[in-house]
Structure 1
Amino acid sequence: MKVRRPPLRVNDPWDKLNVFDARRVDLDGRFDFFWVVLEGEMPGLMLRLPTVPQPTPRLPKLKNLIISFRPVSGGSAFVLGLKERSQLDIFVTLCHDVVEAGEDSQNLDEALSRVLQRTRRWHHLLRGGGPKSLTAEEQRGLVGELTFLRELASAFGPATAIESWTGPTGSAKDFELIGTCIEVKAHRSAAKPFIAISSEDQLADVDGCRVFLRVVNVASAILPDGQSLHDHVRVTATHFEEDAGVFEAWEEAIYSAGYVPEDDYDSRRWLVGSSTSYEVVDGFPRISLPLATGVGSVRYSIALDACEPFKFRGELMDVIRKGLRDE
């Protein structure tokens, strides 16, 4: 007879702690992380701070967690609290991961930044993100979008650029600005001269907007040439680091795009080449809307040579600039 064993539970770091008691996570740790019991006997994790950072970072909201800055004796603290004890196991894992990220820092400011970054990553995972790594083609597509995002940041500033990157949120178009929408496709120049369109809405008209297809040549390279996906993400992140709110929006977008920093992307390198813009107007090779009743979730391919008559000869950034100016 097979004996059923009860499921193993992680050790409870809050065992024998009373409400508002605290126990240091690691006596030899660099920073003041504490296991704490909050109001309502809620298990929590606390990082002691001298003051609340200004401006106060935007914090993610999760159904079963409290995430906040609050005053404590002698200063302030960043606090994570668990409202639903049935999720204690995963909360312990989350806390250890957050502490490990914070301890791998040179100073308290960096520790808090890493703690917030790791908390946002858990926010993404717990609301529906997943640990699956991006495929080679998904990496290629993301490199193409990041290339265009950097162009926008250089031309119009980081706030406008990151606000326009709507693809990670599930929008039909990768980039949406006032008066202009852009769908970005990464293509390997040696590949078959076709572009995959993943929905009927990607090239659909948008009221009051000019619609463009931007094709970026992104080739896979052999070490040591090119840059890994991690390299492309790091280079792009530098455009958003000066403003805390903008950087939070960047992190939210890049994690929503499926990127996880711990995934192994170092073995595949990418070389970015030239870009071509096409204006999507009447006659452009695309499936027309509305679709017939009962038809949906359409995927199709378009030939690049059929797009040639619609190649945009001007500067796409000038079109975007005019739309923003005419707001």
Structure 2
Amino acid sequence: MSESYPWQGLGFDEARRVDKRGQHDFFWAVVENDNVALALALPDGAERILPLPKIKSLDIRYRKLGSRDALLVALRDPEQVDLFASLCKDIVSAGEQGETPSDALDRAVRRTLRWHHLLRGGSSERLSVEEQRGLLGELQVLQLLCAEIGAEAAIEAWRGPEDGAKDFELHGMCMEVKARRGAARPQVQISSADQLADVTGADVFLLVYDVDAAIKPEGMTLSDHVQVVEDIFQSTTLAAYGTWERLLAAAGFDWAHDYSDRRWTIGRRMTFLVEEGFPRISSPVPMGVINVKYSVSLDACSPFIATDDLLLSEIQKTQSYNSK
């Protein structure tokens, strides 16, 4: 059997165990249309309640493998077979860490989701320094929301990666997030009129984080910071985890990229309530004006400083609404 092509010698509707000494029943298989596949055979009576992701390049479903029920991950696009072989080995590696068949199934599905970005042709360029800083700021707010209102509600509120008007949108409040060097001039860049615009029925907050480069052993790499949030969503629902993976990819982060050359520390957070009199360009802007970008002095924002208690109280109110 070829290490790079583990389906060698298999014909239609045939399967071969991945590892005879493995804890769980993973198989290389060839299925309909001669598509190569990975299967995880499930024990008799196992409940197949775990929802499955939908990925363009793959066919992911439950089906029979011989007389047993199995999770099947089949490749639709034969041109991606090398990448798919790597995906399958990664799924097996993750699944084998599960203590029970149900745990192995959960880990296998979650690891498949992690590969979604690569299978759809993820970006080959890593994030710039400023893009890294910006993502780190948004991740701080995401962690805050996870702690206050739960991971499911938090990830649904994250709109920045998919070009939302505000970075975070909840019922009754919106948050725009900025990250800056702690020693830089006290100002932040506003890249559109919408970012600080009023929202009917909602309070708008501006959260500004000091995010600074650090020298080893201080700080953590971008990948380390992302892993902290990844761990939160690994223990939540599959739907929330899938949304997290989709938005992380939309933000431009790719696990395959090497971010080990730069470490980051997160400093203080300044919170402002954006209301009448706040220094901003009014929205909508006059007809014919496009691509509005401007800087806001943080010193001029000082009359609008909001306390942590106010911010957390407003976040909690959104949870109260969602529970009704």
- TM-score normalised by the shorter chain: which range applies? 0.7 to 0.9
Question: CA RMSD of the aligned region, Å?
Answer: 3.0
- Secondary structure of 1:201's aligned partner: helix
Q: 1:152-197 deviations in whole A, cap 9, x for unaligned?
A: 2222222222222222233121111110000111121201222122
Q: Following the alignment from structure 1 to structure 2, what is the Cα–Cα distance between the partners of residues 53 and 201?
A: 50
- Distance, in Å, in 2 between the alignment partners of 1:55 and 1:243 is 18
1:73 aligns with 2:66: yes
Q: What residue number does 1:237 align with?
A: 230
What corresponds to 2:258 in structure 1? 264
What corresponds to 1:8 in structure 2? Answer: none
CA distances 1:11-68 after superposition (whole Å, capped 9, x unpaired): 8765664431224456776654433232344333323333697573333323343111
Counterparts of 1:161 and 1:211, CA distance in 2 = 17
Q: What letter is aligned with 1:322?
A: K
Aligned with 2:118 (options 119, 125, 131): 125
- Cα separation, 2, equivalents of 1:300 and 1:51: 62
Q: How does 1:155-166 map to 2 (within 5 A)?
A: 155-166=148-159
Q: How does 1:281-320 map to 2 (within 5 A)?
A: 281-313=275-307, 315-320=310-315
The worse-fitting range, judged by mean Cα deviation, of 134-143 and 110-119 is 110-119
Mean CA deviation greater in 285-294 or 198-207: 285-294
| Amino acid paired to 2:228 | V
Is structure 2 residue 162 aligned with structure 1 residue 172? no
Q: What residue in structure 1 maps to residue 317 of structure 2?
A: 322
Aligned to 1:254: 248
**Alpha-carbon deviations, 1:293-312, whole Å to 9, x = none?**
34333332222122222222
Structure 2 distance, partners of 1:96, 1:49, is 22
3-state SS of paired residue (2:60):
strand
Residue aligning to 1:280: 274
One-letter code of the match for 1:102? V
Q: Secondary structure at the match of 1:315?
A: helix
Distance 1:70 1:212, change over 3 A: same
Residues 206 and 51 of structure 1, relative CA distance in 2, 3 Å threshold: farther
Unpaired segments ≥5 residues, structure 1: 1-10
In the alignment, the residues of structure 1 paired with residue 73 and residue 134 of structure 2 have an alpha-carbon distance, to the nearest angstrom, of: 35
| Structure 2 CA distance for partners of 1:325 and 1:111, relative to 1, 3 Å | closer
Cα–Cα, structure 1 residues 60 and 42, in superposed 2: closer, same or farther, change >3 Å?
Answer: same
TM-score, normalised to structure 1, is 0.82
Choose which of 79, 85, 100 in structure 2 pairs with 1:95: 85
- Structure 1 CA distance for aligned equivalents of residues 47 and 163 of structure 2: 32
Match of 2:131, as an amino acid? E
Which secondary structure does the structure 2 equivalent of 1:46 belong to? strand
Distance in 1, Cα, partners of 2:59 & 2:11 = 19
Q: 1:117 to 1:262 in 2, by over 3 A?
A: farther
Aligned to 1:106: 97
Unaligned runs of 5+ in 2: none
Aligned pair count reads 315
**Percent pairwise identity:** 43
Which deviates further from its counterpart, 122-131 or 151-160? 122-131
The DSSP-based 3-state class of the residue aligned with 1:202 is: helix
